[in-house]
A and B are shown apart, each in its own frame.
Chain A
Amino acid sequence: QKEVEQNSGPLSVPEGAIASLNCTYSDRGSQSFFWYRQYSGKSPELIMFIYSNGDKEDGRFTAQLNKASQYVSLLIRDSQPSDSATYLCAVILGEYGNKLVFGAGTILRVKS
């Protein structure tokens, strides 16, 4: 089992819809979770981080964390064509880890 798993996609949604991106992780003791966005040919940029169970909202983005299920998700409301990118889930594995482990990423395509 990979330490951080994501569906590679592509996930296609129409403009204005909600895009739901999912990620599971292997280490139950993990505490810190990140979502990075990467446009084609560019470097990753952080869009959300979450530490606590539940939801965290920032504009059109909502991160959801369920530590019991070892599951973290990212919702993008009112999806725009400019949201088309690869979304990388990253986890600091373990309670005292200091290394980010990335999933393979999910390709999101928003069609106008």
Chain B
Amino acid sequence: NAGVTQTPKFQVLKTGQSMTLQCAQDMNHNSMYWYRQDPGMGLRLIYYSASEGTTDKGEVPNGYNVSRLNKREFSLRLESAAPSQTSVYFCASTYQIAGGYNEQFFGPGTRLTVL
């Protein structure tokens, strides 16, 4: 099993460019998440998908859109990149059980720089 995979690993964009970060998991998890991590800020939730066909905003959704393409794949799109979106982006997945144990497994991250 590959676990959670993310592409690309590194990306440099110019302000105003768009791009899509890809995430896939092969653990049959129902819930998937996108986080960004900035120095001194910990991980902040951008969007999540509790199950296939649903998406919800997290703490910092502005400037992003997501698509839960199927149970395995959850993509994050930046429509018009801004320098404030320079960050490390992590995708995570879990098998969500209400009120139960919800270990999240993380992908290797995408390091994005917006010039």
> A residues near B, CB below 8 A?
4, 6, 8, 31-32, 34, 42-46, 49, 51, 88, 90, 92, 95-96, 98-105
Return 6 A-B CB contacts under 8 Å, by A number. Answer: A44-B43, A90-B43, A98-B98, A98-B102, A102-B42, A102-B43
- Shortest beta-carbon distance from A104 to chain B in Å: 4
Question: Interface residues, chain B, CB within 8 Å of chain A?
Answer: 31, 33, 35, 40-45, 48, 50, 58-59, 90, 96, 98-99, 101-104, 106-109
B99 touches A8 (CB 8 A): no
The answer to whether A88 and B101 have CB atoms under 8 Å apart is no
Complexed CA–CA distance, A8 and B58 (Å):
23
Give the nearest-CB partner of B107 in chain A.
A43
Contact: A88 with B102, CB < 8 Å?
Answer: no
Residue of A49, A51, A96, A99 with most partner-chain B CB within 10 A: A99
Q: Are the CB atoms of B40 and A8 closer together than 8 Å?
A: yes
Contact between A46 and B103, CB atoms less than 8 A apart: yes
Given contacts A43-B107, A43-B108, A98-B31, contact A105 B102 (CB under 8 A): no
Contacting pair B106 A43 (CB below 8 A): yes
Which of B50, B99, B102 contacts A100, CB < 8 Å?
B102
Which chain B residues border A34 with CB–CB below 8 Å?
A: 103
Residues in chain B near residue A90, CB distance under 8 A:
43
Taking A44-B90, A100-B102 as given, write out 17 further A-B residue pairs in contact, using a Cβ cutoff of 8 Å, ordered by the A residue number.
A4-B42, A31-B99, A43-B108, A46-B104, A88-B43, A90-B43, A95-B99, A96-B98, A96-B99, A98-B50, A98-B96, A98-B98, A99-B33, A100-B33, A101-B45, A102-B42, A104-B40
Partner of A99, one of B58, B98, B99, B106: B58
Rounded to whole angstroms, the CA-CA distance of A96 and B96 in the bound complex is 12
- Given A88-B42, A88-B43, the answer on whether A45 and B31 have CB atoms closer than 8 Å is no
